Structure 1
Amino acid sequence: MLQEMLSALTGAGAYRGQMFINGHWTDGSSRDVYEVENPATGRIIGTIPQGGADDAAAAVDAAQSAQPAWAALPPFERAKLLVALADAVKEHAGVLARIVVAEQGKPLNQAMGEVGATETFLRYAAESARRIEGDIVPSDSVNEEVWIRRVPHGVVVGLTAWNFPAALAARKLGPALVAGNTFVLKAHEFTPFSGIALVQLADHIGFPPGVFNVVTGAGRTVGEALVTSPASDLITMTGSTRAGREIYRSSADRIKVLRLELGGKAPFIVMDDADIDAAVESAVVARFSNCGQICTCNERMYLHDAIAGEFLDKFLARTSSLRVGDPLSNPDIGPKISGPEVDKIEAIVEDTLAAGAEVLLRGGRLRDGAYAKGHWYSPTVLKVRDNTAPAMQKEIFGPVVPAMTVSSFEEALALANDSEYGLSAYVYSQNFRRLMQAARDLQFGEIYVNRTSGELVQGFHNGWGQSGLGGEDGKYGLDGYFRKKTMYVNWS
Structure 2
Amino acid sequence: MLTTKVETYKNYIDGSWVNSGNQQTFKSVNPSNKNEVVGVFQASTEEDVSVAIDAAAKAFPEWSKTSPSKRAAILSKAADILESRLDQIASELTREEGKPIGASKGEVSRSAQTLRYYAISGQNMTGNTFVNDDQNMKVTTEREPLGVVSVITPWNFPLSIPARKIAPALITGNTVVFKPSSDTPLIAYRLVEALHEAGMPKGVINFVTGSSRDVGSLLITHPAIRAVTFTGSTGAGENIHRQASLTTRTQMELGGKNPLIIMEDADIGLAATLTVNGGFSLTGQACTGTSRVIVMKEVKERYIEALVEKTKALKIGDGFEEGVTIGPLANEKQLRNVLKYIEIGKEEGATLIYGGEQLSEGKYKDGYYVVPAIFTNVKNEMQIAQEEIFGPVIAVIEASDYEEAIKIANDVEYGLSASIVTNNMKYAHQFTKDIQAGTVKVNRTTTGNLLNAPLEALKIQVRQRIENQAQKG
Q: TM-score under structure 2 normalisation?
A: 0.94
Deviations 1:404-445 (A, max 9, x none): 111101111000001011100111111111112211111100
| C-alpha contact (below 8 Å) 2:75/2:198 kept by paired residues | no
| C-alpha contact (below 8 Å) 2:438/2:459 kept by paired residues | no
1:463 aligns with 2:452: no
Match of residue 318, structure 2, among 321, 326, 331: 326
Match of residue 42, structure 2, among 26, 43, 49: 49
Distance 1:468-1:83 versus aligned 2 partners, 3 A rule: farther
| C-alpha contact (below 8 Å) 2:97/2:330 kept by paired residues | yes
| 1:66, distance to aligned residue in structure 2 (A) | 1.1
The DSSP-based 3-state class of the residue aligned with 2:353 is strand
Match of residue 419, structure 1, among 393, 412, 415: 412
1:25 aligns with 2:17: yes
Distance in 2, matches of 1:468 and 1:90, equals 38
| C-alpha contact (below 8 Å) 2:229/2:252 kept by paired residues | yes
Distance in 2, matches of 1:236 and 1:15, equals 30
Of structures 1 and 2, the one with the larger relative CO (CA 8 A, separation 6+) is 1
5+ residue gaps, structure 2? 464-473
| C-alpha contact (below 8 Å) 1:423/1:467 kept by paired residues | no
1:436 aligns with 2:429: yes
| 1:183, distance to aligned residue in structure 2 (A) | 1.2
| 1:27, distance to aligned residue in structure 2 (A) | 0.7
Distance in 1, matches of 2:460 and 2:345, equals 22
Match of residue 225, structure 1, among 214, 218, 227: 218
* Number of aligned positions between the proteins: 458
| C-alpha contact (below 8 Å) 1:262/1:466 kept by paired residues | no
| 1:92, distance to aligned residue in structure 2 (A) | 0.7
2:251 is matched with 259
Distance 1:468-1:457 versus aligned 2 partners, 3 A rule: farther
Output the aligned Cα RMSD: 1.5
Match of residue 245, structure 1, among 227, 238, 241: 238
2:296 is matched with 304
| C-alpha contact (below 8 Å) 2:254/2:458 kept by paired residues | no
Mean Cα displacement is larger for which, 454-463 or 135-144?
135-144
| C-alpha contact (below 8 Å) 2:13/2:52 kept by paired residues | yes
| C-alpha contact (below 8 Å) 1:424/1:446 kept by paired residues | yes
Match of residue 117, structure 1, among 110, 134, 141: 110
| C-alpha contact (below 8 Å) 1:153/1:181 kept by paired residues | yes
1:384 is matched with 377
The DSSP-based 3-state class of the residue aligned with 1:430 is coil
| 1:129, distance to aligned residue in structure 2 (A) | 3.0
| C-alpha contact (below 8 Å) 1:261/1:467 kept by paired residues | no
Distance in 2, matches of 1:432 and 1:357, equals 33
Distance in 1, matches of 2:74 and 2:281, equals 32
| C-alpha contact (below 8 Å) 1:443/1:464 kept by paired residues | no
Distance 1:24-1:337 versus aligned 2 partners, 3 A rule: same
| C-alpha contact (below 8 Å) 1:35/1:47 kept by paired residues | yes
1:203 is matched with 196
| C-alpha contact (below 8 Å) 1:264/1:467 kept by paired residues | no
| 1:12, distance to aligned residue in structure 2 (A) | 2.3
Deviations 1:282-313 (A, max 9, x none): 11110111111000101110111111111111
Mean Cα displacement is larger for which, 381-390 or 14-23?
381-390
Letter paired with 2:244? S
1:454 aligns with 2:448: yes
| C-alpha contact (below 8 Å) 1:101/1:107 kept by paired residues | yes
Distance in 2, matches of 1:292 and 1:467, equals 24
Distance in 2, matches of 1:455 and 1:142, equals 44
Match of residue 390, structure 2, among 384, 393, 397: 397
Deviations 1:202-239 (A, max 9, x none): 21221111111111111122221111111111100011
Letter paired with 1:35? K
1:285 is matched with 277
Q: TM-score under structure 1 normalisation?
A: 0.90
Letter paired with 1:349? I
Mapping of 1:290-369 within 5 angstroms?
290-330=282-322, 331-369=324-362
| C-alpha contact (below 8 Å) 1:121/1:170 kept by paired residues | yes
| C-alpha contact (below 8 Å) 1:290/1:334 kept by paired residues | yes
| C-alpha contact (below 8 Å) 2:252/2:458 kept by paired residues | no
Letter paired with 2:283? C
| C-alpha contact (below 8 Å) 1:261/1:468 kept by paired residues | no
Distance in 2, matches of 1:411 and 1:377, equals 32
| 1:468, distance to aligned residue in structure 2 (A) | 6.9
Distance in 2, matches of 1:202 and 1:211, equals 10
| 1:467, distance to aligned residue in structure 2 (A) | 9.1
| 1:446, distance to aligned residue in structure 2 (A) | 0.5
| Sequence identity (%) | 34
| C-alpha contact (below 8 Å) 2:33/2:366 kept by paired residues | yes
Distance in 2, matches of 1:240 and 1:404, equals 24
Letter paired with 1:203? H
